[in-house]
């Protein structure tokens, strides 16, 4: 539709999640009309995250070091691990200040339609952690939607033989949505009211 590099930019932007062809075009023309210094800062931020940000070798959260800030914190409670889908869920839960344990980021949820099975997620890493840690409770805080529930059910069955307390966040969260869409108060209450799962 457009020539060369402009079209390339529109196509690259269009590959981002939630950006349709129209938005991609709008963002591209916004960039074209921007101050080169502003664009430079955007380019720098993109380069920096690509070069510097890695994933925590313990929990899978984003990190600039081998282990993330939470896994390095000695004041956290090693008895509880909260399992979430994405690093953004860690941020949402941290904001509630209700949780003082550690996290485990799966990197997604089980979704047969999208071809995502347990082997595509950091399930094996979770099992390894549970075998060697002093964990007594695992909180399954996957999203309150179809994929999140399927993942929680799968994990609950898998964890049952370990004799751990396996809990799921209380209802009251917006059903069908993402954990991050819940406000801090609702998410905090869901933590307090978490229920025991018997798989
Ligand atoms: Zn970590």
Whether the pLDDT of residue 130 is over 80: the answer is yes
* C-alpha dist (Å) from residue 153 to 9, 81, 149, 168: 41, 17, 6, 10
**CA 151 / ligand 1 centre spacing (Å):** 21
pLDDT score for 6: 93
Q: Which pLDDT score is estimated for 178?
A: 74
Confidence of residue 98 (pLDDT cuts 50, 70, 90): confident
CA–centroid distance, residue 145 to ligand 1 (Å): 25
Q: Is the pLDDT of residue 110 over 80?
A: yes
pLDDT for 182: 75
DSSP 80-128: EEEEESSHHHHHHHHHHT---EEEEE-SS--BGGGTB-GGGTTHHHHHH
Query: What's the 140 CA to ligand 1 centre distance in angstroms?
Result: 17
Task: Please report which confidence band the pLDDT of residue 106 belongs to, taking 50, 70 and 90 as the band edges.
Answer: very high
Confidence of residue 169 (pLDDT cuts 50, 70, 90): confident
C-alpha 147 to ligand 1 mean position (Å) = 24
Q: If we measure between CA atoms, which residue out of 198, 167, 175 comes closest to residue 79? A: 167
* Average pLDDT over all residues of the chain: 90
- In this predicted structure, the answer to whether residue 37 has a pLDDT above a threshold of 90 is yes
Q: How confident is the model at residue 184 (pLDDT cuts 50, 70, 90)?
A: confident
Ligand 1 centre to CA of 104 (Å) is 7
Q: How far is the CA of 58 from the centre of ligand 1 (A)?
A: 5
C-alpha 38 – ligand 1 centre gap (Å):
33
Q: Which of 108-122, 134-148, 172-186 has the lowest mean pLDDT?
A: 172-186
State percent of the chain over pLDDT 90.
Answer: 69
């Amino acid at each position: 539709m457009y020539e060369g590099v402009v079209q390339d930019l529109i196509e690259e932007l269009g590959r981002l999640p939630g950006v349709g062809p129209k938005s991609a075009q709008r963002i591209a023309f916004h960039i074209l009309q921007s101050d080169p210094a502003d664009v430079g800062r955007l380019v720098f931020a993109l380069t920096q995250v690509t070069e510097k940000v890695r994933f925590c070798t313990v929990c899978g959260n984003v990190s600039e070091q081998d282990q993330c800030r939470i896994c390095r914190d000695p004041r956290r409670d090693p008895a509880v691990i909260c399992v979430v889908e994405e690093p953004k869920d860690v941020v949402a839960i941290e904001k509630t200040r209700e949780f003082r344990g550690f996290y485990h980021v799966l990197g997604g949820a089980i979704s047969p339609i999208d071809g995502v099975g347990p082997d595509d997620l950091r399930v094996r890493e979770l099992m390894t952690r549970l075998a060697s840690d002093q964990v007594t409770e695992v909180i399954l805080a996957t999203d309150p939607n179809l994929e999140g529930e399927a993942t929680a059910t799968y994990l609950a069955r898998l964890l049952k033989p370990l004799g751990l307390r396996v809990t799921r966040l209380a209802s009251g969260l917006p059903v069908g949505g993402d954990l991050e869409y819940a406000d801090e108060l609702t998410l905090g209450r869901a933590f307090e009211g978490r229920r025991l799962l018997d798989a």
